[in-house]
């Protein structure tokens, strides 16, 4: 038996601008993403077996523990890539809210790929890991690499940027999850699509080491904001907050102590930007 523990950070979108719709149905985007100090953890155990068996479990009642889970798909894809068999047991410790625009599922899948590569003594190079991540989704590559990243294409093409040191607070409606499909569809149906070029403006600010707060922006917030009172309530009490990804989480670049919202909202304080992605530790061999 071999096992390790994998640390998987959430991400936020400092900017998210939609360029156009692709022929494959996805959208090309320009987004500055940032990993933050909110983590899921994976306990991955590897046992000898004549066939590949993937067993998932965890502490959340909100996610499936079967082939529908992106972690399962990531493990299956990795094993097919290296053409080996094993029994893989993965316990998912969820701390990142579900359907929240924070890449919880994506970071867990990226953590699965990196963790398995470590357990099998690194048969794949870093570029191979990124290719597997790109095959599975749009945010995995950012979570794998970590830090402040420019993400283009559908989000899988990444470029490392100068690091930013910021604190932040997250605010999420407890009973509202929004799928990426819903948000992108509603954006596509909008007749007017603003072009503020906030990503380019933020890139210039980063180069000059200037304040970025005035350039925080999300096209998907514009797309869905009018449909959800919960989002409007957040914006009313924290006007400088911005939605991350397809929502429903908002963030504000500060440690906000008093937020006058009721218990229907989850507030996560004392977070910060981190300049790293997935980490593996506590390697054990029996």
Q: For residue range 220-251, list pLDDT tens digits in order.
A: 999 999 999 999 999 999 999 999 999 999 99
pTM value is 0.96
Alpha-carbon distance values, 207 to 15, 254, 272 (Å): 16, 22, 21
How far is it, in rounded angstroms, from Cα 126 to Cα 95? 27
Average pLDDT of the residues in 168-190: 94
Q: What pLDDT shows up at residue 94?
A: 98
Nearby residues of 189 by Cβ (< 8 Å), 6 or more positions away:
none
Alpha-carbon distance values, 267 to 42, 89, 203 (Å): 24, 32, 29
Q: What pLDDT shows up at residue 281?
A: 83
Average pLDDT, the chain: 95
282 pLDDT higher than 80: no
Q: What pLDDT shows up at residue 26?
A: 85
- Note whether 114 and 6 are within 8 A (CB): yes
- Residues catalogued as catalytic: 11, 139
Cβ burial 233-270 (10 Å sphere, 16+ → b, else e): bbbeebeebbbbbbbbbbbbbeebeeeebeeebeebee
> Could you tell me the residue range of the domain that residue 110 belongs to?
1-286
Q: Which helix (H) or strand (E) holds 223?
A: helix 219-224
- Note whether 146 and 35 are within 8 A (CB): yes
Alpha-carbon distance values, 262 to 171, 233, 267 (Å): 11, 10, 10
* DSSP, res 176: -
114 pLDDT higher than 80: yes
265 pLDDT higher than 70: yes
1 pLDDT higher than 90: no
pLDDT confidence tier of residue 283, bands split at 50, 70 and 90:
low
Q: What pLDDT shows up at residue 238?
A: 96
pLDDT confidence tier of residue 23, bands split at 50, 70 and 90:
confident
Q: How many domains does the chain have?
A: 1
Q: For residue range 121-166, list pLDDT tens digits in order.
A: 999 999 999 999 999 999 999 999 999 999 999 999 999 999 999 9
Q: What pLDDT shows up at residue 113?
A: 98
- 218: domain CATH number is 3.30.230.10
96 pLDDT higher than 80: yes
């Amino acid at each position: 038996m071999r096992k390790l523990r994998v640390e998987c950070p959430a991400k936020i979108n400092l900017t998210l601008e939609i360029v156009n719709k692709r022929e494959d149905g996805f959208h090309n985007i320009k987004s500055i993403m940032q990993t933050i100090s909110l983590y899921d953890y994976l306990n991955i155990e590897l046992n000898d077996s004549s066939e590949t068996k993937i067993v998932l479990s965890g502490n959340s009642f909100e996610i499936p523990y079967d082939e529908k889970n992106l972690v399962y798909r990531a493990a299956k894809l990795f094993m097919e890539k290296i053409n080996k068999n094993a029994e893989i047991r993965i316990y998912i410790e969820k701390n990142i809210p579900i359907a929240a625009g924070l890449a919880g599922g994506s970071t867990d899948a990226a953590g699965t790929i990196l963790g398995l590569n470590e357990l099998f003594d690194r048969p794949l190079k870093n570029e191979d890991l990124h290719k597997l991540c790109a095959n599975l989704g749009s945010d995995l590559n950012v979570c794998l690499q970590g830090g402040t990243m420019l993400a283009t294409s559908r989000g899988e093409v990444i470029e490392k940027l100068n690091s930013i040191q910021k604190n932040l607070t997250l605010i999420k409606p407890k009973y509202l999850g929004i799928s990426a499909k819903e948000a992108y569809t509603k954006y596509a149906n909008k007749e007017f699509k603003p072009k503020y070029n906030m990503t380019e403006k933020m890139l210039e600010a980063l180069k000059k080491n200037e304040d970025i707060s005035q350039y925080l922006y999300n096209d998907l917030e514009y797309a869905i904001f009018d449909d959800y009172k919960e989002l409007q309530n957040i914006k009313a009490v924290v006007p400088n907050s911005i939605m991350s990804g397809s929502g429903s989480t908002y963030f504000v670049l500060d440690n906000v102590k008093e937020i006058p919202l009721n218990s229907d909202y989850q507030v996560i304080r004392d977070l910060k930007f981190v300049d790293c992605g997935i980490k593996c530790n506590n390697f054990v061999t029996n």
